[in-house]
Chain A
Amino acid sequence: MTLTSTDLLLEATGISKTYGAVVALRSASLAVRPGEVHALMGANGAGKSTLLKILTGAVRPDGGTITVRGRQRTVHSPAEARRGGIVSVYQEPALIPDLDIRSNLRLTETPIEPFRHWLNELGIEDLDLSSIARRVPLASLRIIDLARAMAIEPDVLMLDEITAALPANLTERVLAAVGRERGGDRSVIFISHRMIEIAAVCDRATVLREGRTVGVVDVTQGSEERIVELMLGQIVEDMPAAAERTSDGAKASGSTPRLTARGLSSSERLNDVSFDLQPGEVLGVVALEGQGQDELFDILAGSQRPSGGELLVDGSPVSFRHPADAIRAGLVYVAADRAEALLMQRSVRENIALPFTTRIRQWGLIDLASEGRAVDAAVAKLQIDTRAGSEVRRLSGGNQQKVTIARWVAGGVHTMLCFDPTRGIDIRTKQQIYLLLRDLAEAGAGVLLYTSELKEVQLACDRAIVIFGGRVVAEIDVAEADEPALLRAAYNLRVDAPLPEDVAGEAVAEVVAAAQGSTGAGAEGARALPVSER
């Protein structure tokens, strides 16, 4: 079938957007046909969310054109996009927390009956419309948000990670409902990190990388390879091989662990986590989204108190009431979210020197000379470009992340907790960070590294523990920690089980096939490739 541009429901070309120094989109394009479920793919920071926001009018693009049913449009606000038939369901539900569900429906002028219909369809039957949104669990809110969007039957429905944080039974229902949209004259733009879902419900996929559209792929059997290839682009290659480090493990054993966790638990997310972190070791933590790793790091960093279990630093038990306690015990924390870690309006120097002045006896006059030496050394070690250093917010993302690490390097590292430190930064900086973590370990520090990119494990770690459902389910030596092995473990599958992609794929395929009856083509396409979650 040949398509002229007027056959397209939605077409965006050459979209660009810059936030200060950060280029979110360089030249993104997207063409959606009527009746298709179109996947929007890309690694973290590729620009998916920005493109989505531009299409719904939440953000104005710097350049590019958007055409809806062949007519060029400028969308100024979500309200306008909604009237034009474009509706988005975001990762954070757009329900007003202090209004009840009925008022939320009135606010978006959503008819109640279709809403109820879709709600039932999506697996929630007994919703009290007068319950306050704040009191409704997150998973239900996302379903409500989705039902509300579907109830007004938009031409283009955009779903951003709709299945994240949903329990399995609701995920089934959602995928089935999305799948049924195929073949009509309306379309769905589907963003997900889960390949199996893409394979199950999508017709085509547009792949973004570093703010550009790098390819459009028909989703068929085997197309996942191509998608992954496009998403990753140039693969990190010239990194120190893992094999040459395996012998280092020997020097660690026998000494007191830097950090020992014994049966740590926290409310519902974290059930029982135990591990030892040896000096001179980079210990990887691998987990799918939301398996308790956030809580684990919060506990280790002193932001949250565990409900059970024991924590030992250098063999002696500790308990933290405040991050300051953890820091004093030598546990320093590098967050993934730079907005959480940096003083955006202050200088690089002040950001790096921040931990030097936090204790009351450090409140007096600052020894500028010695502070300067420590900061300069850290800046040099991390190769931070300080040309725009008078305000950290003017630095690039990679440089900002380096500042958050330099803050701790400047004071000397005993044990470093890194929570996905390479999220959304460029490959060169990533490499520098891996090397730095190795250096720290060589110098005797212990490093705990959670990473959402499974590849990083072999590049930076000595061994890895895998957390699933709040428990450590596997410990893998770096030599065996290739992606398939990690993924298998992350899904909590036995080592001798079939390849995880097959199992996971089959699981979803069954679900989709069951939900769609015999009409769906989902089962055919439901083969997933091992791609890291987030």
Chain B
Amino acid sequence: MSAVSGTIDTERARPADALAASARRNAWNLALLGFLAILLVFTKLIQPSYGVPGVQGLAISVLPLALAAVAQAIVVLSGGIDLSIGSMMALVNVVAATQMQGRSEEFGVAVVLGVLLLGLALGAVNGTLIVLTRVPDIIVTLAMSFVWAGCALLVLPTPGGGSAKWLPELVSGSLGNEWIPKAAVGLIVVVALIWIPVRRSWLGLSLYAIGSNRLAAFRSGVSVGRTRILSYTLMGLFAALAGVSLTASTGIGTPVPGPYTLLSVAAVVLGGVSLAGGRGSVFGPILAVIILQLIRTDMTFLDINTNFATVLQGLILIGVVMIGSLVQIRASRA
């Protein structure tokens, strides 16, 4: 797979060169962006009435999965994987919904902050278990997906609860121009405020480093165990944001995990992040999520059975990975 690598400040390089270099590095993201544009045009062609409501709906519907994909991307970049993201989202979702129900709007703010902290803690638990027990991350997070889902059911056995009013309003509607959905702005703001500073810091470098080559990272002075735990903690934060966005978009809490875990893995792969770690960014997966959702929408417009969308999702996932590994096999032979 054509990988996008860490964009590093290129203050010394000439602007044109820097542009070309950054285009090379972000080739996959640019390809995804181009594909998305084509897809939007295509959508408009087959459904001339597709407009503001469509874009709004798209933004809201992709928000939880986009945040989940960012969460997954962070751990995959650092050489791990987390199969409990969906369960964490469910747990955060029900905790938020039960605590906010019938409470004041101001208390809702405290609840949201509280569940974000909860997300950090959940992620830290996953990471710590992986590092301390030395059990493969797939197994630990698979097991923890049971634990978190069980906890969600304990908190709220059946769908219910409520949400502070400001929360749904935060993501529905538009900001300024009617073409700019609040959900999209929210997504950008959250990623920009949390991920970009991390990405530019030493911690961000360490995350990529342990994903790229753990031994070299260790020898470069990175504390591998601590960095892994931090990557899972950060993942927990984004999973919590995804869970809160579920509360925001549905207004209630649902204790049963959605298909977000597996879809987030799919989005990460489609988004150009190498499952071996170290290569890719969180933006590719976000684009992949939007594309997958738009394909689904288009299929309903075309009156195609939406189940083919699931088939297509699987085929795209397999196809991209197959082509990617084929390229790799070729490269290693040359």
- What does the 1/0 interface line of B206-224 toward A look like (CB < 8 Å)? 1011011101111111110
| Residues in A whose Cβ lies below 8 Å from that of B211 | 98
Report chain B residues within 8 Å CB of A108.
220-221
Chain B, Cβ-Cβ closest to A112: B12
Interface: A107 (CB within 8 A):
yes
- Per the 8 Å Cβ criterion, residues 193-248 of B in contact with A are 202, 205-206, 208-209, 211-213, 215-223
Q: Is A429 an interface residue (CB 8 A)?
A: no
Pick from A89-97, A221-229, A239-247, A512-520 the stretch touching chain B: A89-97
Q: CB-CB contacts of B155-185 with A at 8 A, as 1s and 0s?
A: 0000000000000000000000000000000
Chain A interface: which of B3-11, B37-45, B60-68, B316-324?
B3-11
- Nearest CB to that of B225 among chain A residues? A77
B212:A97 contact, CB within 8 angstroms? yes
- Could you tell me if B218 and A93 are in contact, using CB atoms closer than 8 angstroms? no
Alpha-carbon gap, A238 to B83, bound state (A) = 61
Which among A56, A58, A132 has the greatest number of chain B C-beta atoms within 10 A?
A132
Please state if A100 and B8 are interface contacts (CB–CB under 8 Å). yes
Residues in chain B near residue A98, CB distance under 8 A? 3, 5-6, 208, 211-213, 278-279
- Asked whether, in the complex, the Cβ of A96 is within 8 Å of the Cβ of B220, the reply is yes
Chain B interface size band reads 20 to 34
* Whole-angstrom distance between the Cβ of B17 and the nearest chain A Cβ: 9
Given known A-B contacts A82-B221, A106-B205, A108-B221, A97 and B8 have beta carbons under 8 A apart: no
Residues 71-98 of chain A, each 1 if its beta carbon lies under 8 Å from chain B, else 0: 0000001110010000010101111111
Number of interface residues of A (CB under 8 A): 27
Given contacts A95-B216, A98-B5, A100-B6, contact A79 B208 (CB under 8 A): no
Residue A278 lies at the interface, judged by CB distance under 8 Å to chain B: no
Interface 1/0 per residue, A92-128 and B, CB below 8 Å: 1111111110111011110000000000000000000
Give, as a whole number of angstroms, the nearest-CB distance from A322 to chain B: 13
Q: Chain A residues with Cβ under 8 A from B212's Cβ?
A: 96-99
Among candidates B3, B6, B219, B222, residue contacting A103 with C-beta atoms closer than 8 Å? B6
A79 B8 Cβ-Cβ under 8 A = no
Report the bound CA distance from A132 to B22 in whole Å.
12
Q: Return chain B residues, CB-CB under 8 Å to A77.
A: 218, 221, 223
Query: Which of chain A's residues has its CB closest to B216's CB?
Result: A94
Q: Say which residue of A56, A78, A79, A130 sits within 8 Å of B10 (CB atoms).
A: A130
- Residues from chain B with Cβ under 8 Å of A232 in the complex: none
Which one, A56, A96, A100, A106, contacts B213 given CB within 8 A?
A: A96
Report the Cα distance A109→B201, complex, angstroms. Answer: 12
* A207 → B minimal CB distance (Å): 26
B12: A residues at CB distance < 8 A: 129-130
The complex places the Cα of A107 from the Cα of B216 at a distance, in Å, of 11
Q: Which residue of A lies closest to B77 (CB)?
A: A98
Structural contact, A102 and B8, CB atoms closer than 8 A:
yes
Are A104's CB and B202's CB within 8 A?
no
With A103-B6, A130-B10, A130-B13: A96-B209 Cβ-Cβ less than 8 Å: yes
Closest to A83 in B: B221
Q: Which B residues are in CB contact (< 8 Å) with A92?
A: 215-216
Instruction: Give residues of chain A (275-290) contacting chain B, Cβ–Cβ below 8 Å.
Output: none
A96 touches B5 (CB 8 A): no
Contact partners of B6 in chain A: CB under 8 A: 98-100, 103
Which residues of the other chain, B, contact A96 by a CB distance below 8 angstroms?
A: 208-209, 212-213, 216-217, 220, 278
- Does B21 sit at the interface, judged by CB under 8 A? yes
- Residues in B whose Cβ lies below 8 Å from that of A130: 8, 10, 12-13, 21
Chain B residues whose CB sits within 8 angstroms of the CB of A107 once the complex forms: 202, 205-206, 209, 217, 220-222
A106 to B12, CA, bound (A): 15
The reply to whether A78 and B218 form a contact with Cβ atoms under 8 Å apart is yes
Residues B202 and A106 in contact, CB atoms below 8 Å apart: yes
Smallest CB separation, B36 vs chain A (Å): 25
User: Which of B6, B13, B211: most chain A Cβ within 10 A?
Assistant: B6
**How far is B221's CA from A82's CA once the two chains are assembled, in angstroms?**
7
Contact check: which of B21, B220, B223, B278 meets A104 at CB < 8 Å? B220
Q: Which of B21, B205, B209, B221 contacts A79 (CB 8 A)?
A: B221
Candidates B5, B220, B223; contact of A132 at CB < 8 Å: B5
Distance in Å from the Cβ of A116 to the closest Cβ of chain B?
11
Contacts of B219 in A (CB 8 A): 56, 58, 78, 88, 90, 94
- A56 / chain B contacts, CB cutoff of 8 Å: 219
- Closest B residue to A94 by beta carbon equals B219
Min CB distance A129 to B, Å, is: 7
Residue of B6, B213, B219 contacting most chain A CB atoms (<10 Å): B219
Contact indicator A99/B209 (Cβ below 8 Å)? yes
Kindly report which residue of chain B lies nearest to residue A80, judged by CB atoms.
B221
Residues of A contacting B3 with CB < 8 Å?
A: 98
Measured CB to CB, the closest approach of chain B to A98, in angstroms, equals 4
Query: Which among B12, B211, B220 has the highest number of chain A CB atoms within 10 Å?
Result: B220
Q: How distant is B214 from chain A, measured CB to nearest CB, in Å?
A: 10
Query: In the complex, which of the residues A90, A93, A95, A103 has the most CB atoms of chain B within 10 Å of its own CB atom?
Result: A103
Q: Which residues of A contact B221 (CB under 8 A)?
A: 77-79, 82, 107-109
Chain A residue, CB-CB nearest to B206: A107
Q: How far, in angstroms, from A93 to B217 measured CA to CA in the complex? A: 11
Instruction: Give the most central of A94, A99, A129: most B CB within 10 Å.
Output: A99
Find out whether the CB atom of B8 lies under 8 angstroms from the CB atom of A78.
Answer: no
Give A191 Cβ to nearest chain B Cβ, in Å.
Answer: 16
Please name 15 pairs of A and B residues whose Cβ atoms are closer than 8 Å in the assembled complex, sorted by A. A77-B218, A78-B221, A92-B216, A96-B216, A97-B278, A98-B279, A99-B205, A99-B208, A103-B6, A103-B208, A107-B202, A107-B205, A107-B209, A129-B12, A132-B5
Q: A98-B6, A132-B5 are in contact. List 9 more A-B contacts (CB 8 A).
A: A88-B219, A94-B219, A94-B220, A96-B220, A98-B278, A99-B208, A107-B209, A107-B217, A130-B10
The 4 closest A-B pairs by CB, nearest first: A79-B221, A94-B219, A98-B212, A98-B278
